[in-house]
């Protein structure tokens, strides 16, 4: 089906008669365009998250031009819109605080302007879910263009993974194993080009999920940011969005429950970031679908880990790309995928994966030789996390998969930083480090504090992992036995608020259990004595955030954005 010019959404701005239409045409001439350049053509919004302080996206200015080229070639009219940049490294207290703000900006920008389709440029951790959440709420034909991973890092004779090797060598530095000169060299070698972290961190996990959902071109999620293939992919995305508008293929036909289940399977088989749990639940909610922690746990038991990628494996994203990328990877999982659903590029996922081949069987493992027999994430339940918690056990010390130890409790991150190395705490490798006050409300914004540092004296003894529990998140490039997203969070009175130093805690990953060894009567006494902490924000965006944010198990979305309901189209006449 081809949409006639008069049926385009932009037609009500440009194609009718009246004073407003006269003004719209006059102002478009003011922009330098003649009527024959835009009238009757699909108007394509290119939403660009580029900024000077986002190194993951520093090349997206040029990629936007490639997208425009593709749109022009296909007979569309491209318009670039700058939107909020969420720089994972620099934005404090955490860009997670602003994910929903970018999603709202995306939705309302697409609704309020004469737009028929959208190309979304993102990739840094929160931009992918934010852009897709907003686009799903608006429901136009949409293509996502991932920013792409940066080049592999280098230090002397070692290949570095951004994020993962930062944590590793920082601990070596704290343990006295490497000096200041080494650290200066590492700073030069960790991040060598534009692009997102080249490990299977949150950025690559979420862009892979976007490709699995069907909203990118095949293979787009792993193209290195500075590879010429990335520009070609961007231009092809510009050409394809015009076709999607002409076919009226909207996001709601792509983002089905089957697509979300396939994205979950992809994340788990990749050994991907725990952050994907929160983001995919929120994204599904914007599509009017209910994805839960139980879905993650159910699917985790049906898929092996086949991607040998750091932090849980050996290789980096460039290796993955040249091993066949996500099409080759998904071709190993066809028995658990919904192959008859559409994508933006093909009538069915089955057609999209046809002929995909693995070129390096150590990077993308065959089913008979997995990195792990089950998905790389586990969902935990118990009296310490009645609404759930998650752990990336594939990136942890196997000896800690079942562990009981006494808690050492920190009430907030600053206190933990001040006191973690205090000998008076008597922390041993058997202890369980507990951080509270780091959840969606308490953080605020649920910062990536969950990879609690191991005390210096233990690092010097060779200890590199401990059981750590928090209501925080952690970077997808991180590793270790870190139990995260404990819900409800301590700030709202979840059981984590009641833990005291010395309490015994048992983690049993196989049993999917997290248990606090304190009887119900004692917990009731502690709860009666507990009082909620003061509000973090008294005004501004932070106050709105606090009023509307949901808990980790439901995606940390804003309640007023997550709910279903009618939003009228603007009248442009």
Statement: residue 1 has pLDDT above 70: no
The model's pLDDT over 50-104, given as tens digits with 9 standing for 90+, comes to: 999 999 999 999 999 999 999 999 999 999 999 999 999 999 999 999 999 999 9
Cα separation of 524 and 321, whole Å? Answer: 53
Strand partners, 119: 46, 143
Percent of the chain whose predicted confidence (pLDDT) is above 70: 100
The arithmetic mean of pLDDT across residues 442-454, rounded, is 97
CB 236 within 8 A of CB 69: no
**Model pLDDT for residues 481-511, shown as the tens digit of each residue:** 999 999 999 999 999 999 999 999 999 999 9
Name the CA dihedral angle for 91, 96, 101, 103, rounded to a multiple of 10 degrees. 120
Report whether pLDDT(3) > 80.
Answer: no
Q: Residues 354-366: pLDDT tens digits?
A: 999 999 999 999 9
Q: Where are the alpha helices (DSSP H) in 423-539?
A: 456-460, 520-529
Give me the domains of the chain, ranges plus CATH numbers. 1-40 (no CATH), 41-151+193-353 (3.40.50.2300), 155-188 (no CATH), 378-529 (3.50.30.80)
**Smallest Cα–Cα separation from 47: which of 85, 81, 77?**
81
- As a whole number of angstroms, the distance between CA 127 and CA 106 comes to 11
Task: From 204, 133, 94, select the one nearest 439 (Cα to Cα).
Answer: 94
Cα–Cα distance measured from residue 241 to residue 254, given in angstroms and rounded to the nearest whole number? 14
**pLDDT value of residue 5:** 79
Whose tokens are 């520093």? That residue is 58
Strand 117-122 relative to strand 142-146, pairing: parallel
- Is the link from the previous residue into 488 a cis peptide, with omega within 30 of 0? yes
Q: What is the mean pLDDT of residues 148-156?
A: 97
Distance CA 40, CA 36 (A): 8
Instruction: Return the closest-CA partner of residue 432 out of 377, 368, 480.
Output: 480
- The H-or-E segment that residue 207 falls in is helix 202-213
From CA 571, how far away is CA 313, in angstroms rounded? Answer: 53
**Secondary structure class of 433 (helix, strand, coil):** strand
Please give the distance of CA 33 from its chain centroid, rounded to a whole number. Answer: 38
pLDDT in tens, 155-192: 999 999 999 999 999 999 999 999 999 999 999 999 99
Per the prediction, the chain carries an average pLDDT of 97
Q: What is the largest CA-CA distance in the chain?
A: 79
> Quick one: pLDDT at residue 493?
98
Asked whether 175 and 460 are in contact (CB, 8 A), the reply is: yes
CA-CA distance, 461 to 456, in Å (whole number)? 9
What local confidence, expressed as pLDDT, does residue 573 receive?
A: 85
Please give the structure tokens belonging to residue 260.
């979300």
Look at residues 154, 186, 194 and name the one whose alpha carbon lies nearest to residue 53: 194
The pLDDT assigned to 2 comes to 67
Mean pLDDT of 193-202: 98
**pLDDT at position 4:** 83
> How far, in Å, are 173, 281, 430, 453, 502 from residue 426 at the CA level?
22, 40, 11, 15, 11
Q: At residue 112, what are phi and psi to the nearest 5 degrees? A: -90, -10
Q: Which residues contact 409 (CB under 8 A, 6 or more apart)?
A: 434, 436, 499, 500, 501
For residues 416 and 439, give the distance between their C-alpha atoms in angstroms, rounded to a whole number.
15
C-alpha 221/C-alpha 270 separation (Å) is: 13
Could you tell me how many residues make up the chain?
Answer: 573
């Amino acid at each position: 089906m081809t949409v006639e010019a008069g049926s385009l959404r932009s037609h009500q701005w440009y194609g009718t008669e009246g004073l407003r239409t006269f003004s719209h045409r006059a102002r478009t001439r003011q922009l330098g365009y003649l009527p024959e350049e835009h009238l009757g053509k699909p108007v394509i919004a290119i939403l660009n998250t580029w900024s000077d302080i986002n190194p993951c996206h520093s090349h997206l200015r040029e990629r936007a031009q490639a997208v425009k080229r593709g749109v022009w070639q296909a007979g569309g009219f491209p318009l670039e819109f700058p939107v909020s940049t969420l720089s994972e490294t620099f934005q404090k207290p955490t860009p997670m605080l602003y994910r929903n703000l970018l999603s709202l900006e995306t939705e309302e920008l697409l609704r309020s302007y004469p737009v028929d389709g959208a190309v979304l440029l993102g990739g840094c951790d929160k931009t992918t879910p934010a852009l897709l959440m907003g686009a799903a709420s608006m429901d136009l034909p949409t293509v996502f263009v991932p920013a792409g991973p940066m080049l592999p890092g280098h230090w002397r004779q070692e290949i570095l993974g951004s994020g993962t090797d930062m944590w590793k060598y920082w601990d070596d530095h704290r343990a006295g194993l490497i000096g200041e000169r080494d650290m200066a060299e590492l700073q030069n070698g960790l991040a060598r080009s534009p692009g997102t972290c080249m490990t299977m961190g949150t950025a690559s996990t979420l862009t892979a999920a976007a490709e699995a959902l069907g909203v990118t071109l095949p293979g787009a999620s792993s193209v290195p940011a500075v590879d010429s293939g990335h520009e070609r992919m961007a231009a092809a995305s510009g050409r394809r969005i015009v076709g999607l508008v002409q076919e009226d293929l909207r996001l709601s036909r792509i983002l089905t429950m089957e697509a979300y289940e396939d994205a979950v399977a992809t994340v788990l088989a990749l050994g991907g970031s725990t952050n994907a749990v929160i983001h995919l639940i929120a994204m599904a909610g914007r599509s009017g679908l209910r994805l839960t922690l139980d879905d993650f746990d159910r699917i985790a038991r049906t898929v092996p880990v086949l991607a040998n990628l750091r932090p849980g494996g050996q290789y980096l994203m460039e290796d993955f790309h040249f091993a066949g990328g996500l099409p080759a990877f998904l071709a190993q999982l066809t028995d658990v995928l919904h192959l008859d659903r559409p994508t933006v590029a093909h009538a069915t996922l089955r057609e999209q994966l046809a002929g995909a081949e693995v070129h390096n069987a150590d990077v993308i493992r065959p089913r008979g030789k997995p990195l792990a027999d089950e998905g790389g994430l586990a969902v935990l339940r118990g009296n310490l996390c009645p609404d759930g918690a998650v752990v990336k056990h594939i990136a942890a010390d196997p000896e800690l998969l079942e562990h009981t130890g006494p808690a050492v409790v920190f009430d907030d991150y600053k206190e933990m930083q001040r006191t973690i190395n205090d000998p008076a705490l008597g922390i041993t490798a058997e202890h369980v480090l507990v951080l509270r006050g780091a959840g969606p409300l308490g953080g605020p914004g649920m910062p990536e504090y969950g990879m609690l540092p191991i005390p210096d004296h233990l690092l010097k003894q060779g200890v590199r992992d401990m059981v750590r529990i928090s209501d925080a998140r952690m970077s997808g490039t991180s590793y270790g036995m870190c139990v995260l997203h404990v819900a409800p969070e301590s700030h709202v009175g979840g059981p984590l608020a009641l833990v005291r130093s010395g309490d015994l805690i048992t983690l049993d990953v196989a049993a999917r259990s997290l248990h606090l060894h304190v009887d119900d009567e004692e917990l009731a006494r502690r709860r009666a004595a507990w009082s909620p902490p003061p509000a973090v924000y008294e005004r501004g965006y932070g106050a709105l955030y606090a009023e509307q944010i949901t808990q980790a198990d439901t995606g940390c979305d804003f309640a007023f954005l997550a709910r279903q309901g009618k939003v009228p189209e603007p009248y442009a006449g």
